[in-house]
Amino acid sequence: MFRNTVFLLILFLLSTAFYVQAQSVTVSGFVQSPMAYMEGGKFHQTPIIFYLDDVLYERIPHIAIPSESGHFTVNIPLKKATPARLEYDTNSSRIFLKPGQELKIYFTNNEFESTLRFDGTNASDNNYFAEYNRKFDDLMWEHDLDARKRSGKEVYNNYCQQIRSEQETFYRAYTSRNTTSAEFKKWAEAAIKYQEATNMSLLYYRSQDRMNDGYKSFASRYNKYDTQALIAREYVSFLENHIRQTCLRDDPSTRAARETRREHWGIRGFQVARDQFSGKVRDYMMANILSILIEAEYMGTDKVFNDFNRLCGDAEVRSVMGQRYGKLKRAFDKQPPSDAKLEVVKDGSAVYLNHILDKYKGKVVYIDFWASWCKPCLAEMSYSSKLHNQYKGKDVVFVYLSSDATEGPWRANVAKYQLSGDHYLMSKELQIDTEAQLNISGIPRYVLVNKEGEVVYKNARRPSDETLPQQIDRLLAQ
């Protein structure tokens, strides 16, 4: 009895260890002459970063820090064969990962492309990318494609077909010489096919007559229920572009109504994904559009999530999207500080810059033009909060004018950064007025107004600039 119990326990532990291993991939290797950078008075090794390229995985970096000698290792959670991207400084390459795999990567710092090679489990899958990078220049192709958009559909499509032909020729030659996994072949064939489809579909965004430009005929040539191709981001991108093109082909009055409501295109896009697809493809594309809404921090995402949760048949996809939506909901549930005043200036309302400035006469006004999608804007917010504290109780007002398209991300970021002050979500008319009056061509932008309501500094210092208080104090003293 005791022996049986011990045997079963050992069997359980072994199976558990195998399961844990099978749910992850180990990547290790060696960087010849690794790069280092100086920060905080110390040298740090440049990290090697891995990103999984799949709808079900958020773009979360998995980081390996090489030792001074150049050796590194990282364990990446992984449930299925997945394409990914390796980045080192300004260098990058696609890679292909499988659960339970032990992949080894070798390269020289200053000769990344010419020295990159792979060893270990399924090394042949990945040496495909090493050889591909040495033969082709995807960035050059992107540049040439963009240039050919102006030469007409025939010239552009012929170049798309030429790229696909070169990629297929290379793929067939490589797989005839090397043994590659079935999952890799599935990915590669779908990636080549649907990258061409995506490239071709991009030309239709330039269409002047969307009702008669032949898009429907073009789209009908491709399989929109290809569950085997879901392994390739290129297929998901093609379907996402198809959804966008469908939204653009709604009647003008419907599209105008969405713009008036400042409705994110993903609301209509989710309806298209729900109605035009089925099975696993529908689950993935509903998840893809929901991810776009979550990333945009769109206020109407709650209804879309509820519909998705009810309609999605894949429990794993539901679980992943539930976790992702939960982060957004916690952000939305966070409240702005009690002394923050938020006002949505609706399109069509006659509210202009002079109306806003009239409210604050007798005080110095520091205006922050920003948007939630502007990373440099958000990088200044912590400094802005410190500035509030510095001038608390003095005749200084902090006014934030946001050019966000929708209310959700605007409110969420005011709450996230706990920004006191007066906040306005600008209407289209207010944006045009401020841009014209202050010659604003980009954000972030900061403006200082004196107590008489006159703009003194059209390009005031940023909150992080130590000389900004000098400008504010000068106006306070007047």
Rounded Cα distance, 52 and 172, in Å: 25
Mean pLDDT along residues 411-420 = 89
Residue 130 covered by a domain: no
Q: Are residues 271 and 160 in the same domain?
A: yes
Output the pLDDT for position 22: 54
Which H/E stretch holds residue 338?
Answer: none
Q: Are residues 114 and 146 in the same domain?
A: no
**Could you tell me what percent of the chain has a pLDDT over 90?**
72
Residue 7 covered by a domain: yes
- CATH code, domain carrying 457: 3.40.30.10
Residue 415 covered by a domain: yes
Q: Report whether 116 contacts 106 (CB < 8 A).
A: yes
* pLDDT tens-digit readout, 221-266: 999 999 999 999 999 999 999 999 999 999 999 988 888 777 889 9
Residue 132 covered by a domain: no
Instruction: Give the angle 168-27-92 at the CA atoms, nearest 5°.
Output: 50
Residue 151 covered by a domain: yes
Q: Are residues 328 and 455 in the same domain?
A: no
Q: Are residues 85 and 172 in the same domain?
A: no
Residue 127 covered by a domain: no
Q: Are residues 347 and 465 in the same domain?
A: yes
Long-range interactions of 177-181: CB distance < 8 A, separation 24+: 178/124, 178/127, 178/128, 179/124, 180/122, 180/124, 180/125, 180/128, 181/81, 181/98, 181/122, 181/125
Task: Give the CA distances from residue 134 to residues 112, 119, 145, 315, in Å, rounded to whole numbers and listed in that order.
Answer: 10, 18, 20, 41
Number of domains composing the chain? 3
Residue 131 covered by a domain: no
Residue 322 covered by a domain: yes
Q: Are residues 323 and 362 in the same domain?
A: no
pTM of the model: 0.77
Q: Are residues 289 and 387 in the same domain?
A: no
Higher pLDDT, 39 or 109: 109
Q: Are residues 107 and 166 in the same domain?
A: no
* pLDDT tens-digit readout, 64-90: 999 999 999 999 999 899 999 999 999
Q: Are residues 172 and 308 in the same domain?
A: yes
Rounded Cα distance, 379 and 425, in Å: 19
Neighbour tally for 37: CB within 10 Å: 11
Q: Are residues 389 and 466 in the same domain?
A: yes
Of 279, 299, 333, which residue constitutes the final position of a domain?
Answer: 333
Lowest mean pLDDT among 12-21, 99-108, 196-205, 387-396: 12-21
Rounded Cα distance, 117 and 125, in Å: 11
Three-state secondary structure call for residue 393:
coil
Q: Are residues 199 and 317 in the same domain?
A: yes
Q: Are residues 410 and 360 in the same domain?
A: yes
Of 89, 122, 155, which residue constitutes the final position of a domain?
Answer: 122
Of 333, 348, 382, which residue constitutes the final position of a domain?
Answer: 333
* pLDDT tens-digit readout, 263-312: 889 999 999 999 999 999 999 999 999 999 998 888 789 999 999 999 99
- CATH code, domain carrying 23: 2.60.40.1120
Domain of residue 89 covers 2-122
Name, in order, each residue with C-beta under 8 angstroms of 89's C-beta and a sequence gap of 6 or more: 35, 46, 109
Rounded Cα distance, 59 and 50, in Å: 9
Which H/E stretch holds residue 437?
Answer: helix 428-438
Output the pLDDT for position 349: 86
The answer to whether residue 5 scores a pLDDT higher than 50 is: no
